[in-house]
Structure 1
Amino acid sequence: MAIDPRELRRCLGHFTTGVTVVSCYDTAGARHGATVNAFTAVSLDPPLVLVSLDRRSRLCGLVEREHRPFTVNVLESGQKDLALHFAGRPTEQVGWLPDSGCGAPRLAGVLAHVSCTPWQSYDGGDHLLYLGEVQEFLIHDGRPLLFHTGRFHHLGDDHEPVLWGDSADGPAGQAWIPHPADR
């Protein structure tokens, strides 16, 4: 049975993801980034994350050929315009923070930063899968920008977070009390 790529993309779009901008320096030392929603945690020991980059993208070429450190910038719910900016629709002035310790640029005002050095890459068809070894991370308060069925979304006020077992959100077995902003 032949798979229609457009229908497969439509089907896969029903899985809600967060939205990130993966950033690095280009060969001339300028900051470069691309909006990426294929990002996941892989390992705590060693600390590894995975991003999936389109082989045709400039960012993919920089990370692959130049073996450049990169930062995964997790976008906050109000940063739809920033996501669009790095998806090829420049609309706003971009705020940058000073470089991370691993030599990758970081965006200002995002929910979290995960700065990595390349660990390994794998063939992923029309994408390359990059494992990055986490060198530094920062967490900020806020809610995530979400992507579902081709549109941006955010968590509603009725969202009630739930902590389970060994969640990365808190120590195992600890009673969890929602933050007032999460109520």
Structure 2
Amino acid sequence: MAIDPGKLRRCLGHFTTGVTVITCNGDDGTPHGATVNAFTAVSLDPPLVLVSLDRRSRLCGLLDSRPFTVNVLESNQKELALHFAGKPSQEVQWAPDSACGTPRLEGTLAHVACTPWRSYDGGDHVLYLGEVQEFLFHDGRPLLFHTGKFHHLGSGHAPLLWDDSVDGPAGVTFVAGSITGSG
């Protein structure tokens, strides 16, 4: 059975992700970036993260063997996401470079500065693993991406607090796709 790429993309778009801008320095030292929602934590020891970039993207050509920063966007940074997705609409505010010399964006929810660890063939994408060298974060609400549109958590959103156990929060049981609490 042949997989229709457009339908597969729409299906995968039902997985809600955060929105990041991956930044690095170009050959001439000027900062470059691209909006990416394919970002994930990989390991705490060593501290590794993964970003997936389309092979055709300009940033993919720049990121090979270079330090990079993952900038996690806040809910009010939709225009910044669009700017780095190829629809420039604003002047970019850059923060001081990270400890490993990579450019980072001002006012983001978090940033994770990395040095190259490995890269892997991912079909029409390249998977870049970065070793975390520095990270900063603050409280706020993330910009989300779902079904091809930007979203944010509503004001009535009440987060479920985890107790850092492997199985999840104390008193919470996972039952057939739902979460129930006890006590």
Structure 2 length-normalised TM: 0.89
Aligned residue number for residue 126 of structure 1: 124
The one-letter amino acid paired with 2:49 is: V
Q: Which among 159, 162, 170 is matched to residue 160 of structure 2?
A: 162
Q: Offset of 1:68 from its aligned partner?
A: 1.0
Q: Distance in 1 between the 2:121 and 2:9 partners?
A: 19
Aligned residue number for residue 178 of structure 1: none
Pair 167,52 (structure 1): closer, same or farther in 2 beyond 3 Å: farther
Aligned residue number for residue 89 of structure 2: 91
Q: Offset of 1:137 from its aligned partner?
A: 0.2
The one-letter amino acid paired with 1:131 is: L
Q: Distance in 1 between the 2:28 and 2:165 partners?
A: 41
Q: Distance in 2 between the 1:14 and 1:136 partners?
A: 31
Unaligned runs of 5+ in 1: 174-183
Q: Offset of 1:167 from its aligned partner?
A: 6.5
Number of corresponding residues: 168
Q: Offset of 1:165 from its aligned partner?
A: 3.4
The one-letter amino acid paired with 2:50 is: L
**1:19-34 counterparts in 2 under 5 A?**
19-34=19-34
Tell me the percent identity.
77
Higher strand share: 2
| Deviations, residues 117-156 of structure 1 (Å, cap 9, x unaligned) | 0100111000000100000000022100000000000001
Pair 150,118 (structure 1): closer, same or farther in 2 beyond 3 Å: same
Please state whether the residue corresponding to 1:82 is helix, strand or coil.
helix
Q: Distance in 2 between the 1:29 and 1:164 partners?
A: 41
Q: Distance in 2 between the 1:87 and 1:150 partners?
A: 13
Aligned residue number for residue 55 of structure 2: 55
| Alignment of 1:112 onto 2:105 | no
Unaligned runs of 5+ in 2: 171-183
Give 1 or 2 for the bigger CA radius of gyration.
Answer: 2
Aligned residue number for residue 3 of structure 2: 3
Aligned residue number for residue 153 of structure 1: 151
Please provide the CA RMSD for this pair. 1.4
Q: Distance in 1 between the 2:165 and 2:95 partners?
A: 29
